[in-house]
Chains A and B, each alone.
Chain A
Amino acid sequence: MRRQSPLRLLLPALLFMLAGCGEVPLNSPYPAAERTANTLYAAFAARPKHLDPAIAYSSNEYVFLHQVYEPPLQYHYLRRPYTLVPLTATALPTVTLLDAGGRALPPGTDPARAVTSVYELRIRPGIRYAPHPAFARDAQGRLRYHRLDAATLADIDALGDFPAQDSRELTAADFAYQIKRLASPRVQSPIRSLLRTHLAGFGELAEALAEASSDTDGWLDLRPFELSGVQTPDRYTLRIHLNDVYPQFEYWLAMPFFAPLPWEADRFYSQPGLIEKNITLDWYPVGTGPYMLTVNDPNRRMVLERNPLFRGEPYPSDGEPTDAAAGLLADAGKSMPFIDRAVFSLERESIPVWTKFLQGYYDRSPVGQDSFDQVVNLGAGGELALTDAMRERGMRLSSSVATSVYYTGFNMLDDTVGGYSAERRALRQAIAIAIDQEESIAIFQNGLGVAMQGPLPPGIFGYRDGHVGMNRQVYRWVDGQPQRLGIDRARALMRAAGYPNGRSAAGAPLVLYFDTMASGPDAKSYLDWLRKQFAKLGVQLVVRSTDYNRFQDKMRRGLAQIYQWGWNADYPDPENFLFLFYGPHGKVKHGGENASNYHNAEFDRLFERMRILPNNAERQRLIDRMVALIHRDAPWAAGFHPQQVVLDHGWNGNLKPNDMANNTLKYQRLDPQLRAQQRWAWNRPQWTPVLIALGLLALACVPGWRLWRRRQRAGALAAGSGRP
């Protein structure tokens, strides 16, 4: 047999490598085995701080948490306006209003007559937790990993190192256990104060737990502690008693705070040996959802995998009228989830994320400021369209107005801009006219945003579109759209305010102060623009840039004069926006979210009535009046509702922007074959330029080589002097 030379063996391997191993590009960041896997790839910029459902409250935490934990309710994926539907519950809760004597009021009674309320939920039988070592039992039926010794712990570095896992059925008691955790001083839930106000017996439980917690360092079994406001009359029934009438409580039932937590998991994770190894409930969630977190390395990547015990949930079969045409109902009734695995990689910088998205290595990407022109053509009417380059790649663009508001507000306690006199109102209204919010959106937001007419964003009950919803203090209706009032009107208001041409009666210029966290070169252009807006009125604006901590401190102490802030809705209810003006929520006096410290007795009275009403004509009327008061008093000068734009590859399916639902992974669909083909087509290695560059380098070495030869032959003196 003829011997093969090593070169003949190496050459095909080298060629294979150079060609990009079997249609896996060289620049692929994923293992070759995952080429056609049904896996979604996404990036995250900031590691989640908490994954304990009692603590987590940030959107970057909810991305993971909502796929694992299942509260009783969820938002319908397709319907708009946002609608609650059952998740682990069999139906929406039955709400009973009670009078002062604890007697149930008949349905349809005016909620103002009620004093307390009861929510009753029926939990769906047969739901099982994802496999977890906390449920594993030994031959004698004892929980196997609840008393871990040093020998067992020696082999454990991550949750996956436990050889045995098990599951059990979800019961109503697990919801009760989690609600009790919200009262525990060890957990420090952010909604503790909220529940102390609304949930019966919560304050008493918090005090009892504080006492018990100080007596023991180990696991605190919450089951024996009584919480009068939460009862589980049978295995599947959960009854929650509120101290008041709080219709917004239903929305809280769609948040992970109210997701079930088995006591076994709480006990398992409380073992000191596991805590020392960073294996905690805050790091390794255990839920009933469609996915389970199998890799949690937030320094690098987080991996969600299909929960093998997930019951299967049918894809929605109804939505908005346009959904069917958009192909969003093609999977109606099919069992979810559709994707087997989701890999989230940590990427701190936006440039690598965008590059990898264009290469097909990430499935979705928000469109940032840097890449906007590359992606979007903005029409004359503000309509968004993809550029040809992106369309040729089969990409799709989706946008939605967020249920958020970013605003410039006045501190109503301030001596210069605050107060409720006609002069102060005139001053604020003049500034509201002068700040050209539309121009700001066009320049600084790439046109992506809706100028605020009132605090409610589109899609929230109470929002009024068109002429009816227009802020008449700032706009007039011209040719079917609102047009900002002229600067002459603002100057007239300045005269009425006692500052003609921006000067006081004594002739001193009016100097106002703007407190902001924005600083650095990126913010400078905006701040310069803002100064110019005030200069239209002859007002000098002094920008006081500060860090996050100092800014918060100024706001708490009422030291800011004009400021900028934002609000993301917790739930799609007008109460969650209008409470930003409710007097008892004033930031300085009460530490609440009313950052402008606005206080208007009529507004407060209307708010108290509005918040207990269902979405009906009376509620709309009250909201209209409240918004009119805000227009008149102008505690906010300007603001906008941001528009989010997301770019998808053609292999993604069932994608519809949903600003309220976070458990959207289960609805999504992928075509991994198409993705693999596209990735290969877009990422074939380019060797020709490399070979040309190497050739040029070799040519450039020739003079050096000749010099080398000459110097090698040169005598001692010539070499020492450096002469050739």
Chain B
Amino acid sequence: MTAYLLRRLLYAVPILIGVNLLTFALFFMVNSPDDMARLHLGDKHVTTEAIDSWKRARGYDRPLFYAPQEHGLSRLTETLFFQKSARLLVFDFGRADDGRDIGRDIRQRMGPSLAIAVPSLLLGLLVNITLALGMVFVRGSRLEHTGVFVAVLAMSISTLFYIIGAQYLLAKLLRLAPVSGWLDGLAGLKFLILPLLVGVLSGLGSGMRWYRLLFLEEAGKDYVRTARAKGLPEGRVLGRHVLRNAAIPILTGVVAVLPLLFMGSLLTESFFAIPGLGSYTIDAIQSQDFSIVRAMVFLGAVLYLLGLLLTDVSYTLADPRVRLQ
């Protein structure tokens, strides 16, 4: 397995370089360094001298990919792409256009993102699995059909609706939780209520349907029939046998998304004023801060690759028959 992991890690390098290259090309196709300078310097009294000075101070005065005036390797290294992107491969995120240390900002903002994302995932998992098992338990009944209908309905509703609806109902009408905000420590628990609720509810429809399918597939297998034939009550059959055997796709699905939890949620963080990485990315896009955008895209790509790797590893842990070579 070690050889497999090393091979996968080596495969990741060209992928990450490709992601970097693509991000770089896309960003600079839309925004020239002059555009970025103008946005940062504002609309008034912006002179060519000020733009040149801004670019020089942040290293945007270099050519994009090739510096013909340089010699040797410097023709490639004294370029915007190399200077701005190559360091990412050693996780040196550099500085934002306003001079702040991006790595430090990411570390600071990771906490709030995780505080929402991890409980949302766990709670969502618990609720989805419980309800899906319940639907399998009552399969064929009107209750199950109603459950499927509700799940499809829930899937069809935008997350934005859940957010605004939760803020209106629970914060404004019932006055049980703050509309938005963030405080550190235990005092901040009340700010988790609405984002968690929205996180669970917005994923409920798709989660219930997905897990129901998994459980139904397992519930039709011979070993389940055998268990029933032995006289086991249905609840025990589902809880002990079906759930355990459906755990592999559940586990691998969860492991795949685990690293991405660090990236935060753009919409939830924006509406609930959570100072996480999702809102960090939105801010960077709005202010055309390429340094932050490329750092976040790179981080997202790394975490995604890590997720895939962990999924493979989790297969071997969940099913001893699987071997990684």
Which residues of A172-221 have CB atoms within 8 Å of chain B's CB atoms? 185-186, 188, 190-194
Q: Could you mark each residue 707-721 of chain A with 1 if its beta carbon is under 8 Å from any beta carbon of chain B, else 0?
A: 110011111110111
Q: What residues on A are CB-neighbors of B172 within 8 Å?
A: 355, 358-359
Residue of B50, B138, B229, B283 touching A716 (CB-CB under 8 A)? B229
Indicate if B62 sits at the interface (CB-CB under 8 A): no
Instruction: Tell whether, in the assembled complex, residue A351 and residue B164 are in contact, meaning their CB atoms are under 8 Å apart.
Output: yes
Instruction: Tell whether, in the assembled complex, residue B225 and residue A27 are in contact, meaning their CB atoms are under 8 Å apart.
Output: no
Instruction: Tell whether, in the assembled complex, residue B167 and residue A278 are in contact, meaning their CB atoms are under 8 Å apart.
Output: no
Indicate if B39 sits at the interface (CB-CB under 8 A): yes
Indicate if A160 sits at the interface (CB-CB under 8 A): no
Indicate if A520 sits at the interface (CB-CB under 8 A): no
Sample of 14 A–B contacts (CB below 8 Å): A27-B171, A31-B187, A49-B40, A49-B98, A185-B57, A277-B101, A278-B101, A280-B99, A299-B108, A359-B172, A552-B35, A591-B47, A683-B175, A720-B225
Number of interface residues of B (CB under 8 A): 75
Indicate if B141 sits at the interface (CB-CB under 8 A): yes
Instruction: Tell whether, in the assembled complex, residue A707 and residue B141 are in contact, meaning their CB atoms are under 8 Å apart.
Output: yes
Decide: A711 near B137, CB < 8 A? Known: A26-B176, A703-B143, A720-B225.
yes
Indicate if B201 sits at the interface (CB-CB under 8 A): no
Q: What residues on B are CB-neighbors of A369 within 8 Å?
A: none
Indicate if A423 sits at the interface (CB-CB under 8 A): no
Which residues of A25-42 have CB atoms within 8 Å of chain B's CB atoms? 25-29, 31
Decide: A704 near B30, CB < 8 A? Known: A29-B178, A300-B273.
no
| Residue among A191, A297, A549, A712 having the largest count of chain B Cβ atoms under 10 Å | A549
Q: How far is the CB of A117 from chain B (nearest CB, A)?
A: 21
Instruction: Tell whether, in the assembled complex, residue B101 and residue A355 are in contact, meaning their CB atoms are under 8 Å apart.
Output: no
Which residues of B come within 8 Å of A, CB atoms?
30-32, 35, 38-42, 44-50, 53-54, 57, 98-101, 104-105, 108-109, 134, 137-141, 143, 164, 167-168, 171-183, 187, 190-191, 219-220, 224-225, 228-229, 231, 233-235, 237, 270-273, 275, 279-280, 282-283, 286-287
Instruction: Tell whether, in the assembled complex, residue B174 and residue A690 are in contact, meaning their CB atoms are under 8 Å apart.
Output: yes
Instruction: Tell whether, in the assembled complex, residue B49 and residue A722 are in contact, meaning their CB atoms are under 8 Å apart.
Output: no
Instruction: Tell whether, in the assembled complex, residue A712 and residue B233 are in contact, meaning their CB atoms are under 8 Å apart.
Output: yes
Q: What residues on B are CB-neighbors of A704 within 8 Å?
A: 134, 138, 143
Instruction: Tell whether, in the assembled complex, residue A591 and residue B48 are in contact, meaning their CB atoms are under 8 Å apart.
Output: yes
Which residues of A322-368 have CB atoms within 8 Å of chain B's CB atoms? 345-349, 351-352, 355-356, 358-359, 361
Decide: A188 near B233, CB < 8 A? Known: A193-B47, A277-B101.
no
Q: What residues on B are CB-neighbors of A26 within 8 Å?
A: 175-177, 190
Main secondary structure of the interface of A (DSSP, over half): loop
| Residue among A188, A192, A355, A361 having the largest count of chain B Cβ atoms under 10 Å | A188
> How many angstroms from the CA of A25 to the CA of B31 in the assembled complex?
47
Q: How far is the CB of B310 from chain A (nearest CB, A)?
A: 29
Instruction: Tell whether, in the assembled complex, residue B279 and residue A193 are in contact, meaning their CB atoms are under 8 Å apart.
Output: no
Instruction: Tell whether, in the assembled complex, residue A352 and residue B99 are in contact, meaning their CB atoms are under 8 Å apart.
Output: no
Decide: A707 near B42, CB < 8 A? Known: A27-B171, A346-B273.
no
Indicate if A149 sits at the interface (CB-CB under 8 A): no
> How many angstroms from the CA of A434 to the CA of B175 in the assembled complex?
51
Instruction: Tell whether, in the assembled complex, residue B49 and residue A193 are in contact, meaning their CB atoms are under 8 Å apart.
Output: yes
Decide: A714 near B234, CB < 8 A? Known: A690-B174, A690-B176, A707-B143.
yes
Q: How far is the CB of B30 from chain A (nearest CB, A)?
A: 7
Q: What residues on A are CB-neighbors of B282 within 8 Å?
A: 348
Residue of B38, B46, B234 touching A711 (CB-CB under 8 A)? B234
Known contacts A29-B180, A549-B31, A690-B176; 12 further A-B pairs (Cβ under 8 A): A27-B179, A47-B283, A186-B57, A299-B280, A549-B35, A549-B38, A570-B44, A690-B174, A708-B137, A708-B138, A716-B225, A716-B231
Decide: A188 near B53, CB < 8 A? Known: A355-B171, A355-B179.
yes
Which residues of A674-724 have CB atoms within 8 Å of chain B's CB atoms? 683-686, 689-690, 703-704, 707-708, 711-717, 719-724
Q: What residues on A are CB-neighbors of B237 within 8 Å?
A: 719
Which residues of A come within 8 Å of B, CB atoms?
25-29, 31, 46-47, 49-50, 57-58, 185-186, 188, 190-194, 275-278, 280, 282-283, 297, 299-300, 345-349, 351-352, 355-356, 358-359, 361, 547-549, 552-553, 570, 591, 593, 683-686, 689-690, 703-704, 707-708, 711-717, 719-724
> How many angstroms from the CA of A345 to the CA of B99 in the assembled complex?
23
Instruction: Tell whether, in the assembled complex, residue B42 and residue A57 are in contact, meaning their CB atoms are under 8 Å apart.
Output: yes
> How many angstroms from the CA of A711 to the CA of B137 in the assembled complex?
8
Q: What residues on B are CB-neighbors of A193 within 8 Å?
A: 45, 47, 49-50
Instruction: Tell whether, in the assembled complex, residue A29 and residue B44 are in contact, meaning their CB atoms are under 8 Å apart.
Output: no
Q: What residues on A are CB-neighbors of B270 within 8 Å?
A: 348-349
Residue of A nearest to B236 (CB): A712
> How many angstroms from the CA of A662 to the CA of B250 in the assembled complex?
56
Instruction: Tell whether, in the assembled complex, residue B273 and residue A352 are in contact, meaning their CB atoms are under 8 Å apart.
Output: yes
Q: What residues on B are CB-neighbors of A721 within 8 Å?
A: 140
Instruction: Tell whether, in the assembled complex, residue B179 and residue A29 are in contact, meaning their CB atoms are under 8 Å apart.
Output: yes
Residue of B nearest to A715 (CB): B228
Q: How far is the CB of A203 from chain B (nearest CB, A)?
A: 11
Decide: A689 near B174, CB < 8 A? Known: A49-B40, A720-B225.
yes
Q: How far is the CB of B107 from chain A (nearest CB, A)?
A: 11
Residue of A nearest to B272 (CB): A352
Q: How far is the CB of B240 from chain A (nearest CB, A)?
A: 14
> How many angstroms from the CA of A297 to the CA of B41 in the assembled complex?
22
Listed from nearest, the 7 A-B pairs whose CB atoms lie closest are A722-B140, A716-B228, A29-B181, A299-B275, A549-B35, A29-B178, A722-B139
Residue of B nearest to A549 (CB): B35
Instruction: Tell whether, in the assembled complex, residue B98 and residue A684 are in contact, meaning their CB atoms are under 8 Å apart.
Output: no
Q: What residues on A are CB-neighbors of B134 within 8 Å?
A: 704
Q: What residues on B are CB-neighbors of A194 within 8 Å?
A: 45
> How many angstroms from the CA of A628 to the CA of B101 in the assembled complex?
54
| Residue among B44, B48, B104 having the largest count of chain A Cβ atoms under 10 Å | B44
> How many angstroms from the CA of A382 to the CA of B25 in the assembled complex?
52
Decide: A190 near B50, CB < 8 A? Known: A58-B42, A711-B137.
yes
Instruction: Tell whether, in the assembled complex, residue B57 and residue A593 are in contact, meaning their CB atoms are under 8 Å apart.
Output: no
> How many angstroms from the CA of A387 to the CA of B52 in the assembled complex?
53
Q: What residues on A are CB-neighbors of B46 within 8 Å?
A: 190, 591
Residue of A nearest to B182 (CB): A300
> How many angstroms from the CA of A506 to the CA of B179 in the assembled complex?
63
Decide: A190 near B41, CB < 8 A? Known: A549-B30, A708-B235.
yes
Q: What residues on A are CB-neighbors of B275 within 8 Å?
A: 297, 299-300, 346
> How many angstroms from the CA of A47 to the CA of B105 in the assembled complex?
14
Residue of A nearest to B109 (CB): A299
Q: What residues on A are CB-neighbors of B138 within 8 Å?
A: 704, 707-708, 711
Instruction: Tell whether, in the assembled complex, residue B180 and residue A347 are in contact, meaning their CB atoms are under 8 Å apart.
Output: yes
Residue of B nearest to A47 (CB): B283
Instruction: Tell whether, in the assembled complex, residue B178 and residue A686 are in contact, meaning their CB atoms are under 8 Å apart.
Output: no
> How many angstroms from the CA of A689 to the CA of B175 in the assembled complex?
11
Residue of A50, A690, A713 touching B98 (CB-CB under 8 A)? A50
Decide: A356 near B140, CB < 8 A? Known: A27-B171, A193-B47, A345-B273.
no
> How many angstroms from the CA of A278 to the CA of B179 in the assembled complex?
31
Residue of B nearest to A189 (CB): B50
> How many angstroms from the CA of A49 to the CA of B98 in the assembled complex?
7
Instruction: Tell whether, in the assembled complex, residue B179 and residue A352 are in contact, meaning their CB atoms are under 8 Å apart.
Output: yes
Residue of A49, A191, A356, A552 touching B38 (CB-CB under 8 A)? A552
Residue of B nearest to A195 (CB): B45
Q: How far is the CB of A131 from chain B (nearest CB, A)?
A: 24
Residue of B nearest to A354 (CB): B179
Instruction: Tell whether, in the assembled complex, residue A686 and residue B109 are in contact, meaning their CB atoms are under 8 Å apart.
Output: no
Instruction: Tell whether, in the assembled complex, residue B283 and residue A190 are in contact, meaning their CB atoms are under 8 Å apart.
Output: no
Q: What residues on A are CB-neighbors of B41 within 8 Å?
A: 188, 190
> How many angstroms from the CA of A276 to the CA of B104 in the assembled complex?
9
Q: What residues on A are CB-neighbors of B168 within 8 Å?
A: 355
Q: How far is the CB of A141 from chain B (nearest CB, A)?
A: 32
Q: What residues on A are CB-neighbors of B31 within 8 Å?
A: 549
Residue of A25, A278, A711, A722 touching B104 (CB-CB under 8 A)? A278
> How many angstroms from the CA of A704 to the CA of B234 in the assembled complex?
14
Instruction: Tell whether, in the assembled complex, residue B180 and residue A356 are in contact, meaning their CB atoms are under 8 Å apart.
Output: yes
Instruction: Tell whether, in the assembled complex, residue A352 and residue B180 are in contact, meaning their CB atoms are under 8 Å apart.
Output: yes
Residue of A nearest to B57 (CB): A188
Residue of A49, A188, A276, A358 touching B50 (CB-CB under 8 A)? A188
